[in-house]
Structure 1
Amino acid sequence: MLPFGSVSLPITFTDSEREASDSDTDPRGLGPRVSRLSGPAARARATPVSTDARLLAIATEHLTRLGPKRVTVVAVAAEAGMTHANVYRYFPSKDALLDAVAGRWLRDLETELAGIADAPDPADDKIERFIGALATAQSEMLTHEPNLFAVHLDATVASRPIARRHRVRLRTLVERIVEEGIGTGVFAARDRERAIAVIFDASYRFTHPVAIQHDADVPRDLLDARLGAVIQSIQRSLRTGTF
């Protein structure tokens, strides 16, 4: 503190100190400059985008614009400013890279379906909503994101890891609904495995990407009517226990 009656002189900087004022060091030698950023802006500055996330973003844009056949690891690497050999440190193949892009869409779908399975609705209503959501999401994917659907379809046909994991997660969610239905008496079925098989077998045409691709030219209203009839048949079988 200045003695009483003394005069405070203004602080002046040399040219070099003025240049240093734009750096992260306080020009008066008082240690690191305190950032003026706070909250989300400071966190965004402190947390750069990871390399794999950046590669996925570039691959997503290339897939949307070019289609899966024309996407190349070399082009993705060039845009990311690295060699294609470096990309393989994160994704061992082009298929793995594109599957990771599709995997983000599948995880969002699985989250939506899990919300249906965990809802407080009766089990027979959940089955209707579950099958409808699974069918609609993939149908809309084919219409609005055909290149992404092509990756999903190819991964399913080739039974690549991303497709196998997706099937396991779908089965787990359906099993949860079936067990709840049996436990609450909504479903008369006692054979859980047969009940699960009926659900997937009967809805195959509307929920499997191969069948969805095959019916791409069928009018939407006709498919919706057929799906509604199939869902009613599934619900009736589960309620009565007759397969």
Structure 2
Amino acid sequence: MSKTAILVDGGFYRKRAKKLWGERTPQVAANGLITYVRRHLHEHHLTHELYRIFYYDCPPVDKQMYHPLLKKTINLGVSSEYIWMTQFLDCLKEKRKVALRLGILDDSNSVYTLKYDAVKKLCSGSISTSDLTENHFEMTIRQKGVDMKIGMDIASLAYKHQVDQIVLIAGDSDFVPAAKLARREGLDFVLDPLEMEIGHDRDLFEHIDGKRSCGNPYRKEQTSESLAPYKA
């Protein structure tokens, strides 16, 4: 039986899962994540052994930030987003075979910015500054250290031959150099973009062994035959 490591870009997964399957409580979201990733262990009539689930993310920011529309300072440490994320990470820590790989958020450069749709509407004249609400703004904070941790773990798993397969749940092509390294070491490398198109698929297939997404984890568990097949 082949051994599989599943690596999850948490920032991407959380955002994509919310868009695809709606908002969930921290406990339900953590259970949904585990249900989802474990579907990758069943490939048609094959069953893979789970080595470990590596989850990469950043703890929430606990600081004061000025909101330009409200003209006041917001305490992020008591926000609903802070509470949700803290509880979500705590739930994952309790899960068997889950290893958290946490980076940090660059809170020194964090700001509230207008969302892209709001900027388009302002430029087109469909709304004016007096029409802006809190919903038109989003907090912009960059992650630090997450991509590096993903790359290092892929390299370590490959060089030590601890697994036969790596499944990466991610939404960009930054992983390509690490994927090429893993494949040179003989590992099967599968990408799960959560049903999202990433760049030019033809170019992407040069650097991975398959691409697959596994459906809604909050629905009744699907058989491996009913899931989106691996593309090769």
TM (normalized to structure 1)? Answer: 0.23
* Structure ID, larger Rg: 1
Q: Which has the higher contact order (CA 8 A, sep 6+)?
A: 2
Question: TM-score scaled by structure 2?
Answer: 0.24
Higher strand share: 2
